Amino acid sequence: MSGIIQSLIEIAVGLFSFAALLRFLLQLFGAPYRNPVSEFSVSLSDFAVRRLRRFIPGIRGVDYTPLLWAWVLECLLLMANLTLFGMVHPFELLHFLPWILAMGAVTLLRHGLYILMGAVFVLAVLSWVNPYSPVMPVADALTRPFLNPLRRIVPMMGTVDLTPVILMVIFQLTLTVLVGALEMLVQRLM
């Protein structure tokens, strides 16, 4: 029974965290706001982001409030998992606070890479199936900063662009090597 409750909590908090992180990435990479993906992320995160924005100013035109909200949600989820399921007594949470804060940041990095990998996949599929989809500009905005440098290096193979495949491999290696190493480093804090 506790496994089901834990899964439901992780799904609910993960959805809100994902939406806030997606909102930050869309804003960071200049994706258009008039599309279903942006409207979804704004509708799921606006209740908290709007309140937090009063206290957290933007820096150089970038609003970091959605990123902070996603990080807070991930940290709260880690605290809930530690306390509600008997791993740590609530009074011992202060001892684990550095671990919680660091693991929340690493989790956001992993989720950000998953979002970018999903955008590359959507871009590759939609470019063949439906290039005029309303999701296409969003996927293009999220992947353009990564694909354009690769396109200057890797030539086209006839009419096929292999840079999305190469970018997926780079993202997967980053997940495995860099994020895996960071997770192991943070585990030593515990």
**Residue 190 pLDDT greater than 80, yes or no:** no
Structure tokens at 149: 């440098």
Neighbours of 106 (CB within 10 A): 20
Total domain count for the chain? 1
Q: Give yes or no for a contact between 94 and 88, defined as CB atoms under 8 angstroms apart.
A: no
* Single pTM value for the model: 0.89
Express each pLDDT in 40-82 by its tens digit. Answer: 898 888 888 888 888 887 788 888 999 999 999 999 998 888 8
pLDDT at 157: 81
61 dihedral zone (left: phi>0; alpha: psi -120 to 50; beta) = left
* CA proximity to 190, closest of 82, 69, 76: 82
The residue segments making up the domain with residue 100 are: 2-187
